[in-house]
Amino acid sequence: MYQISIKDYEKNLKKRFPNDDFTVLSFTAAIKPVTIKCNKCNKIYNYNRGTTLYSNRRKNICTFCSSKIVQGVYKSCEINNITIINHSYNTIDPWYFRCNICGEEFSRIIYHWKTKQCPKCLAEKRSTVVQFNWQKIIDDLCGESEFEVLKNTSADHFFIKHKCGFIRKTQSGAFLRSPWCPRCKGTMSKGERKILDYLQKNNISYEAQKKIPDSHQTFDFYIQPNIAIEFNGK
């Protein structure tokens, strides 16, 4: 009977599966059991016969690594400079990662990991982009150093500081419609200022930049129970 060595068997398999990274751990003869280790995920595969692996239907040595979702994770980790520290052999248990850019360690269930990016780097990327944009838009609208965008709490909610020192949390749309300061009335239009003076002089309580529930509208002033006043910069 024709005998091949473990090295030759491995060489033949590598020709047959050029994209797989594996080591043949034990082999005696083509019709005897064989053990193979995947070098990517360290999974050990035992087969009853060495010839099993030559079946025409077989596309990969490691069925785990070749699954679409795992392939996607490998690829994203390579692109985004993330190291897989520890992983399970399923898509239900968490995998552990380390970001090589910021050092953040985090775990994800890969099936639910939509962004495939480091959460810390991603948050930084998002907040700097958004913050820069809002600051510029507000500068163009109100003049430089009138308002300072302090911190984004979400994509379009931020804390804003007027030059008088007054800080409030606002939503971008509401702010852009009436970009003034409720404390000192800075950058307020004449009409708005008149209304505000009137409300304050007559001790009428109001809410500024009131969003009406069940509607998409926001009003400059809202007086309980149902009076809403909106200026369009006039």
Interaction site with Zn ion (CB under 5 A):
38, 40-41, 43, 62, 64-65, 99, 101-102, 104, 118, 120-121, 162, 164, 166, 181, 183-184, 186
The CB-of-227 to Zn ion minimum distance in angstroms stands at 25
Please enumerate, as own/partner, the contacts of 187-194 that have beta carbons within 8 Å and a separation of 24 or more: 187/142, 187/143, 187/146, 189/231, 189/233, 189/234, 191/231, 191/234, 192/220, 192/231
The CB-of-222 to Zn ion minimum distance in angstroms stands at 20
192 three-class SS: helix
The CB-of-122 to Zn ion minimum distance in angstroms stands at 8
Q: Of 101 and 204, which CB lies nearer to Zn ion in the complex structure?
A: 101
Specify the DSSP class assigned to residue 126: H
29 three-class SS: coil
Q: Of 94 and 186, which CB lies nearer to Zn ion in the complex structure?
A: 186
Q: Which residues of 94-109 are buried (b: 16+ CB within 10 A; e: fewer)?
A: ebebbbeeeeeebebe
The CB-of-152 to Zn ion minimum distance in angstroms stands at 18
Do 121 and 104 touch, CB atoms closer than 8 A? yes
Do 104 and 98 touch, CB atoms closer than 8 A? yes
Instruction: Give the separation between CA 28 and CA 34, rounded to whole angstroms.
Output: 8
Q: Of 30 and 36, which CB lies nearer to Zn ion in the complex structure?
A: 36
The CB-of-215 to Zn ion minimum distance in angstroms stands at 28
Instruction: Give the separation between CA 104 and CA 15, rounded to whole angstroms.
Output: 39
Q: Of 31 and 85, which CB lies nearer to Zn ion in the complex structure?
A: 85
Q: Of 161 and 227, which CB lies nearer to Zn ion in the complex structure?
A: 161
